[in-house]
């Protein structure tokens, strides 16, 4: 084989190699954008709920099957969607990678999945209702709700989360540098993972400086 032919093959191989990774990056960016759009829908539902409920945030919920006033029960009807309990009752449990409000578009389908499991990629900031037996915060009690985390990617099997549980749900990319986050004022944006895990982000005192879990 002549040198020119070898060089041409090497160039083609390099183009295919870099083209593959370019496509992967484009697909990842598209999934991230779809995840933010999905959170924006949850944000619309949250704002409508606040109007109807004297500005009280919904409850976090202790589990997916026995929490009638939790976010996953009270918010979907504002989007003309059934609450999670209805899906469970009808045997339509959401799964990772499914086209639904419950699965982040960033999640892929696992090779093996138990359809009886109750799953939601999204989970509510548990610090917004520190005591499950007491009421959640009112939106004005947060002072700067646009800085306080409401929903982000959680473990998949719990309706609430704290920082150490972010983005551990099945099917989610483990090496993602940013995560989609919905804030208590209803806006969604990508946030660096390191920011969500930073110790100063956890406290209510951080609210004036930036993103906060509002842990008191």
pLDDT in tens, 111-135: 889 989 999 999 999 999 999 899 9
* Region of poorest pLDDT, from 17-26, 44-53, 164-173, 183-192: 17-26
CA distance 104 to 57: 22
Q: What is the pLDDT of residue 95?
A: 93
Q: What is the mean pLDDT of residues 82-86?
A: 95
- The whole-angstrom separation of Cα 45 and Cα 39 is 10
pLDDT of 206 > 50? The answer is yes
Tokens (6 digits) for 26: 């484009």
The C-alpha atoms of residue 110 and residue 100 are separated, in whole angstroms, by 16
Q: Token pair of 164, please?
A: 């150490």
Q: What's the confidence (pLDDT) of residue 20?
A: 42
Confidence at residue 9, expressed as pLDDT on a 0 to 100 scale: 65
Tell me the per-residue pLDDT of 154-196, one tens digit each, with 9 for 90 and over: 999 999 999 999 989 988 988 889 999 999 999 999 999 999 9
């Amino acid at each position: 084989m002549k040198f020119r032919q070898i060089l041409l093959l090497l160039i083609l191989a390099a183009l295919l190699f870099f083209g593959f990774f370019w496509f992967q990056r484009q697909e990842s960016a598209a999934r991230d954008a779809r995840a933010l759009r999905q959170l924006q829908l949850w944000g619309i539902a949250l704002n409508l709920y606040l109007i109807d409920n004297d500005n009280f945030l919904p409850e976090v919920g202790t589990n997916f099957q026995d929490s009638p006033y939790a976010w996953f029960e009270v918010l979907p009807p504002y989007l003309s969607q059934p609450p999670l309990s209805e899906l469970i009752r009808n045997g339509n449990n959401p799964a990772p990678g499914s086209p639904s409000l419950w699965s982040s578009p960033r999640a892929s389908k696992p090779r093996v999945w138990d359809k009886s499991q109750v799953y939601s990629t999204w989970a509510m900031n548990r610090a917004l209702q520190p005591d499950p037996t007491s009421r959640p915060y009112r939106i004005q009690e947060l002072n700067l709700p646009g800085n306080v985390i409401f929903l982000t990617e959680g473990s998949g099997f719990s309706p609430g989360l704290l920082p150490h549980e972010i983005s551990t749900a099945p099917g989610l990319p483990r090496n993602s540098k940013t995560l989609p986050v919905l804030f208590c004022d209803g806006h969604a944006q990508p946030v660096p993972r390191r920011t969500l895990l930073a110790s100063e982000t956890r406290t209510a005192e951080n609210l004036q400086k930036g993103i906060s879990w509002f842990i008191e």
